[in-house]
């Protein structure tokens, strides 16, 4: 991993392959390693850039107000890329959307996998998950909070653990733990999602959703697909919320075709 360090903070990043640049932005319960199984296929045709959002993985937590879009802009400036293809998972998908709205000239195409919708009217199941996580963290039981998140985001509501690929929970446990430790700092200092008009997005767009994800995110995916002009909706039948972990071969294939546009 490489490190971008300046007066605004420290961001950890990795670069692989050669060709037109594509940036992979991880989910809010993971870090850059969630893309490990997808990178080799994409790196055959692209320069693949992965980084840890601030407070995740090896990137330092914030010490003051910051913008995820500004952090991405700093990274692209540091690497010398004027225009890139963006791929974001979950919260990383929202970062990708916000960056596209804030810096449209710097985005060649946009792919979002299970991105959240700001100020969404969450279901009772999602509210119960949030309350359970808050209670576990309030009791100082980080392990319980990790397990609550693994149940919600990796296993999902539609399958048992026997149906989840071996090793994924162990792979995610460490990055998830780091995200939970830092989430109050990140939440306190992040300026949050943007408020731009999705109808202004004028680049090729792909919206992905796992058929085994919670119903909220299946609804949200359809909202994004309807709101972004010309967007293509792709459903991944064997995936829950973390599509790149559940279906890396399918994600690599779909992205490979989309990014070639």
Mean pLDDT by 10 residues, the chain (261 residues): 76 96 98 98 97 96 93 96 98 97 97 96 97 98 98 97 97 98 95 87 98 98 98 98 98 96 84
Residue 141 and residue 163: Cα distance in Å, rounded?
Answer: 27
* Residues 129 and 152 sit within 8 Å (Cβ to Cβ): yes
Residue 47 and residue 81: Cα distance in Å, rounded?
Answer: 11
Q: What is the pLDDT of residue 80?
A: 96
Q: What is the pLDDT of residue 196?
A: 85
Residue 34 and residue 96: Cα distance in Å, rounded?
Answer: 16
Q: What is the pLDDT of residue 112?
A: 98
Give the residue from 218, 212, 88 showing the smallest Cα distance to 154: 212
Please give the structure tokens belonging to residue 169. Answer: 């929970």
* Residues 240 and 153 sit within 8 Å (Cβ to Cβ): yes
Half-sphere exposure of 182 (CA within 13 A, CB side): 25
* Residues 211 and 235 sit within 8 Å (Cβ to Cβ): yes
Please give the structure tokens belonging to residue 44. Answer: 């055959």
Q: Is 43 helix (H, G, I), strand (E, B) or coil?
A: helix
Instruction: Find how far residue 153's CA is from the centre of its chain.
Output: 12
Residue 28 and residue 56: Cα distance in Å, rounded?
Answer: 8
Pairing relation of β-strands 84-89 and 47-51? unpaired
């Amino acid at each position: 991993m490489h490190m971008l360090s300046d007066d605004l903070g420290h961001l950890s990043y990795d670069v692989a392959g050669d060709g037109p640049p594509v940036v992979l932005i991880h989910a809010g319960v993971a870090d850059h390693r969630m893309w490990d199984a997808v990178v080799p296929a994409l790196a055959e045709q692209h320069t693949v850039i992965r980084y840890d959002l601030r407070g995740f993985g090896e990137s330092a937590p914030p010490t003051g107000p910051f913008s995820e879009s500004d952090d991405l802009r700093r990274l692209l400036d540091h690497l010398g890329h004027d225009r890139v293809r963006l791929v974001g998972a979950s919260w990383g998908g929202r970062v990708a959307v916000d960056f596209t709205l804030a810096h449209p000239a710097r985005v060649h195409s946009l792919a979002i996998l299970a991105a959240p919708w700001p100020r969404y009217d969450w279901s009772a199941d999602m509210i119960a998950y949030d309350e359970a996580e808050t209670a576990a963290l309030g009791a100082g039981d980080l392990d319980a909070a990790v397990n609550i998140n693994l149940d919600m985001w990796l296993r999902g509501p539609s399958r048992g653990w026997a149906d989840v690929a071996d090793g994924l929970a162990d792979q995610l446990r460490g990055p998830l733990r780091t995200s939970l430790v830092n989430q109050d700092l990140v939440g306190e200092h992040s300026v949050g999602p943007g408020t731009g008009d999705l109808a202004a997005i004028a680049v090729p767009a792909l919206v992905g959703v796992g058929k085994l994800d919670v119903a909220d995110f299946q609804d949200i995916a359809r909202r994004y697909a309807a709101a972004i002009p010309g967007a293509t909706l792709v459903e991944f039948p064997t995936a829950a919320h973390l599509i790149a972990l559940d279906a890396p071969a399918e994600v690599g294939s779909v992205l490979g075709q989309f990014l070639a546009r």
